[in-house]
Amino acid sequence: MRDSPLERAFARGALSAEQYSAGQKYRHHWYHAGLSGGLVSVDLNRVWAVDLGAYAGMAKTERQVFHRQRYREAVQALGKIGSHVLEWAVCREFALERIGQVLGWTSRPQAYAAALERMKAALDELCRLWGIGNREV
């Protein structure tokens, strides 16, 4: 098991199996769409030049196009706040307390609770969008 906000919330029983599955699928599409960026290092022996092959604006493969389409559909269904919370919590693995503080909560417990509720609502929307489980939410 990983140590990210999605996995921690699921391990604590704050998320259902369907919500957890939707979060994993969202992260899967985000990552395989090439939106995570790459791990790069500096080669000090190399002459500095612009590497046009590393341009990340356009999808490089049909596979990336497919995952970007699924990711964009999810973002549109979630709206601005829901997609922001999921991207930063599920994909970029920022702590829920920090996300809640960005949303405007100053108290750490309130920030965590607010971000968790937003994450759960967004995951429920993804369950509806992708037909995960037979949840009545």
**Amino acid at residue number 110:** Q
Domain assignments of the chain as residue spans, ordered by start: 5-36+60-129
Task: Say how far apart CA 15 and CA 8 lie, in whole Å.
Answer: 9
pLDDT in the model for residue 58: 77
Four-point Cα dihedral 10, 12, 15, 21, nearest 10? 10
pLDDT in the model for residue 137: 45
Q: What is the pLDDT along the chain (137 residues), one digit of tens a residue?
A: 468 999 999 999 999 999 999 999 999 999 999 888 766 666 666 665 555 455 457 778 889 999 999 999 999 999 999 999 999 999 999 999 999 999 999 999 999 999 999 999 999 999 999 999 864 54
* Residue from 70, 86, 82 nearest 34 by CA: 70
pLDDT in the model for residue 56: 56
Instruction: Tell me the CB-side half-sphere exposure of residue 38, using CA atoms within 13 A.
Output: 9
Four-point Cα dihedral 16, 113, 123, 23, nearest 10? -80
pTM of the model: 0.82
pLDDT in the model for residue 43: 64
